């Protein structure tokens, strides 16, 4: 049974399709948007359209940015010889919030998952290896503590070790099966400080 008119139902359906938004949250958001002044709704819609049109990958680390290099890669005071490998840009943001990491990042945009058909060629591993051909002292593997994250970390380690690069893995403290973006800053800092060579 349809409770609302076609436009409201369509808006609720579109919002509910977003990750982490259930039907009740979608309804609340829809009614909030409908109650907003039209100028604010247009600004929101334009922000989404402009972000979609202008955001791209950083040419070095592959995080999301609106310029060729992201703000982190473009900073000369970061340690460009120390690279932390993360699965996505949200994980990068989680580590940046700690304020403890002075190196740079490499965003894989996923993890190896044979069960879902994602292989090494489907994520940014080749680009990481090419990047490590330059002067890199250490690569910190900060993939999630899931089966896919561990598989990806071991695969990358086997590629980089023969290049003479120190390869470390973030320490425990990050719960197995936990996603980095939801973990508090203290736990992330401890995991970074207690990393071990693999």
| 62: in domain | no
| 63: in domain | no
Assess contact for 178 and 145: CB atoms under 8 A: yes
Q: What is the pLDDT of residue 146?
A: 81
Q: Is 195 left (phi over 0), alpha (psi -120 to 50) or beta?
A: beta
Residue 187 token pair: 């736990």
How far is 157 from 173, CA to CA, in rounded Å? 21
What CATH number should be reported for the domain holding residue 178? Answer: 3.40.1360.10
Where would I find the H helices in 36-167?
38-54, 89-98, 125-132, 147-160
- Measuring CA to CA, which residue among 70, 98, 120, 93 is closest to residue 179? 93
Do 86 and 149 share a domain, yes or no?
Answer: yes
Do 10 and 93 share a domain, yes or no?
Answer: no
Do 27 and 109 share a domain, yes or no?
Answer: no
Q: What is the pLDDT of residue 179?
A: 76
| 170: in domain | yes
Do 90 and 43 share a domain, yes or no?
Answer: no
Do 153 and 111 share a domain, yes or no?
Answer: yes
Ordered mean pLDDT values, 10 residues apiece, the chain (198 residues) = 76 93 93 95 96 94 94 95 95 91 95 92 95 92 88 94 91 68 74 74
Q: What is the pLDDT of residue 173?
A: 65
| 60: in domain | no
What CATH number should be reported for the domain holding residue 21? Answer: 1.10.8.420
For residue 140, give its domain range: 76-197
| 44: in domain | yes
Q: What is the pLDDT of residue 1?
A: 45
The strand pair at 196-197 and 166-169 is best described as antiparallel
Number of domains in the chain: 2
Do 87 and 30 share a domain, yes or no?
Answer: no
Do 44 and 136 share a domain, yes or no?
Answer: no
């Amino acid at each position: 049974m349809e409770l609302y008119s076609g436009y409201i139902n369509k808006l609720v359906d579109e919002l509910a399709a977003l990750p982490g938004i259930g039907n009740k949250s979608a309804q609340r958001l829809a009614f909030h948007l409908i109650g907003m002044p039209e100028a604010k709704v247009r600004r929101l819609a334009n922000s989404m359209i402009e972000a979609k049109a202008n955001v791209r990958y950083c040419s070095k680390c592959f995080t999301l940015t609106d310029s060729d290099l992201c703000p982190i890669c473009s900073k000369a005071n970061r340690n460009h010889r120390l690279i932390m490998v993360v699965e996505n840009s949200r994980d990068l943001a989680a580590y940046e919030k700690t304020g403890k990491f002075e190196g740079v990042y490499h965003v894989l945009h996923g993890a190896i998952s044979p069960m879902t058909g994602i292989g090494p060629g489907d994520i940014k591993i080749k680009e990481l290896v090419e990047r490590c051909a330059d002067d890199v002292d250490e690569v910190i593997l900060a993939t999630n503590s899931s089966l896919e994250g561990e598989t990806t970390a071991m695969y990358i380690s086997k590629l980089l070790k023969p290049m003479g690069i120190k390869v470390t893995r973030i320490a425990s403290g990050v719960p197995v099966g936990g996603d980095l973006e939801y973990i508090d800053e203290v736990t992330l800092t401890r995991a970074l400080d207690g990393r071990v060579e693999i």
